[in-house]
Structure 1
Amino acid sequence: MAPLHWVAIVLSFVATIQNYAGHMEASADIGVCYGMLGNDLPSAPEVISLYKQYGIEKMRLFEPNTAALQALKGSNINITLDIRNQDLADLAASQDAVNSWFNTNVEPYLNDINFNFIAVGNEVIPGSLGGYVLPVMNYLQKILDDKNLHGIKVTTVLPGNALQSSYPPSSGAFTSEASSVLSGILSFLSAKGSPLMINVYPYFAYASDPTDVRLDYAQFTAKSAVVRDGSLSYYNLFDAMVDAFFAAMEKAGRGDVGVVVSESGWPSDGNGNFTTPKLAGTYNRNFVKHITSKVGTPKKPGAYIEGYIFAMFNENQKPSGVEQHWGLFYPNKQPVYPKVLHWIALILSFTATIHNYIGLIEVSPFNGMQ
């Protein structure tokens, strides 16, 4: 092959990769929630190895578990760390209380773990604990500012019932109870460039009303628009739910705040024909495909939205009546739907490979050559 022809091929490949990378963030857009409500789950080091085996670069921890944090050291897995709901009242009492929490649960790991977010409470708005969220956020932010830890963002997690209206998506609006505490929180997020975390579950909408909520609409498989909202067309319920939050934030005067989908998933058992491995695998595969495609939503085309699958394992200690089969894996580390997990691993591995390649391009000695 002539040298110039070879160079042209290489440059074409590099241009393609760089173009692709231009649509990517610093790490993969998909994470998985590491729930621990089980007495038969693998050890923390085994879990971290499983994340790495499947190319999962982001994890959400629902509490600062010492064993998990120790195992995460040097893993390069990006972490969202939750503050437990039951700790909010005590932490909201003073800066010293939050300092102590930070010094115990974050400070010792800063050199060895990549913290992306600290989530102040999970689904406490609306609710009696909601008023504690903003004070704790402010105390945490002071610590991060004082230590120049600008890469760690402070946020909180909202459930779907924070919305009084969500259909059609443009009617999205927060409940009056949620609005009373969200005004200050959204101002905080806007000022700090932090996203709001939202839990988005099309499964619950479908399972509660299968007559009016189509399965293909809930599973990203509809071939034509199912809902039309003004000039916008919705092919999947996920986008409609996310856009309802965007609309609610606009109505609250904070349309500049982005979102992270902190939980989404579909159980593989526990509710008859609504929960099968096939349905769960289809949803999670299409969720990954949708998030990594970076299409955004009809209301926010091209918006960067990262998403977290709920959850890593089936957990046997959930409250009675709650599906215990949300996991990608059984407690013995075997995949619940192997073909889908293999596909997800390939997608995440490809993303990681691109990131590594871009890193090489950025330090290439040829970058300055004309």
Structure 2
Amino acid sequence: MGLMTSFWLSLVLSIIISMHGSTEAVDIGVCYGMNGNDLPSSPDVVQLYKQHGIAKMRLFDPNPQALEALRGSQIAVSLGTRNEDIQSIASSQEAADSWFTNNVAPYLSDIKFSYITVGNEAIPSQFAGSIGAAMQNLQNTINARGVAGIKVSTVLSSGTLGSSYPPSAGAFSAEAREALISVLQFLSAQGSPLMINVYPYFAYASDPANIRLDYAQFTATGTVVQDGALSYSNMFDAIVDAFYWAMEKEGVSNVGVVVSESGWPSAGNGELTTPELAATYNKNFIQHIMTNGTPKRPQDHIEGYIFAMFNENLKPEGTEQHFGLFSPNMQPSYPVFT
């Protein structure tokens, strides 16, 4: 079964690559989380990405072993700062320069960095007030070094939305707004996207009696939510559009989004988390973002990252340990296409 599932995963990714001409054109990435004590070595992980045609990787922090393994791989990297480092990076230009010198500069000739993300779901938190300054300092560093192609952003959870239903009611929570104003102004001025983590699974699991499974899994065949002139057949689009509406309510209409995480666990919550449901969600997520915008912005292509590469046994027990496309033995957890 392991060989067959590996075959199907390779097949779907090769089909996507052939449709777009090369791996460089594939806007699907996978998050490389490391919260496990039984995970393969970073060189083996990079080879697994290459073996399956996964052209983009999200790293949550500048892990030296992973960065060394990525040299020459042609895998585009979204690199995060640790939340604990945000205040230091924000404290001075010298601190931002030092972070970049230590964690990015040594690899610039061998790794394509697409994004530097300041923190992960750090709004709201004790670090939130420093994010805008940290982003600006890192942008200053990039500009001073004449490095092209790296965008600076931050990553938000859907919890920053105080209102999200219907999508046109999307608005940031009062707790998140204060820190977000400077962030959104920065992104607008720089032409950089907002990174958002979008998980229809969690909304569905919290209220399966009232939220339709086909709406959460991209399998509904017609409109489920009508919002004025906009029709929604899947929750993913509704969440993304709620972010667009929320940004517009803050006076920002020219900022796009990158979906920095999305996925469905294959175990941990009974019949809501089967390998079949996980495979269906991730298959449809890939298909959807490769070919569609959202009802609000149908022409805006959305780049996305599946969470995650591996099941991670040091995460909290339950679903958190079962989001991996692969087991630590590098065998697929399920076929992505059935």
Q: Tell me the TM-score normalised to structure 1 length.
A: 0.84
**Cα pair distance change 1:56/1:21, threshold 3 Å:** closer
- The question of 1:140 aligning with 2:135 is answered no
Contact 2:289 2:304 in 1 (8 A): yes
1:158 maps to 2:156 = yes
Sequence identity percentage: 62
Instruction: Return the match for 2:57 from 53, 56, 59.
Output: 59
Q: Which residue of 1 aligns with 2:111?
A: 113
Offset, 1:128? 1.8
For the 8 Å contact 2:24–2:55, the answer to whether it is kept is: no
Kindly indicate whether residue 306 of structure 2 is the aligned counterpart of residue 309 of structure 1: yes
- 2:301 aligned with 1:296, yes or no? no
CA distance in 1, matches of 2:320, 2:284: 21
Q: State whether residues 312 and 327 of structure 1, in contact with CA within 8 Å, keep that contact through their aligned partners in structure 2.
A: yes
C-alpha change, 1:45 and 1:317, in structure 2 (3 Å) is: same
| Correspondence 1:356-367 to 2 at 5 A | none
Q: Return the alpha-carbon distance in structure 2 between the equivalents of residues 319 and 131 of structure 1.
A: 28
Deviates more, 1:52-61 or 1:126-135: 126-135
Per the alignment, residue 270 of structure 1 pairs with 268
**2:96 pairs with 1:98:** yes
Q: Which residue of 1 aligns with 2:209?
A: 211
Q: Secondary structure at the match of 1:32?
A: strand
Q: Which residue of 2 aligns with 1:329?
A: 326
Report if aligned partners of 1:271, 1:323 keep a CA contact under 8 Å in 2: no
> For the residues of structure 2 that align with 1:61 and 1:117, how far apart are their CA atoms?
10
Offset from partner CA, 1:8-56 (integer Å, 9 cap, x none)? xxxxxxxxxxxx869x995311000000000000000100000001100
1:179 to partner: Cα distance: 1.1
Structural RMSD (CA): 1.5
Q: Which residue of 2 aligns with 1:318?
A: 315
CA distance in 2, matches of 1:208, 1:105: 39
Q: Which has the larger radius of gyration?
A: 1
Which residue is equivalent to 2:195?
Answer: 197
Off by >2 Å, runs of 4+ in structure 1? 24-27, 319-323
Name the CA distance, whole Å, in 2 between partners of 1:37 and 1:25.
Answer: 28
Output the TM-score relative to the length of structure 2: 0.92
Match of 1:230 in 2: 228
Structure 2 gaps, min length 5: 1-18
SS of equivalent to 1:116? strand
Cα offset, 1:147, TM superposition: 1.2
Contact 1:269 1:323 in 2 (8 A): no
Unpaired segments ≥5 residues, structure 1: 1-19, 344-370
Partner of 1:179 in structure 2? 177
Shift of 1:86: 1.2
What's 1:3 paired with?
none
Match of 1:128 among 109, 112, 126: 126
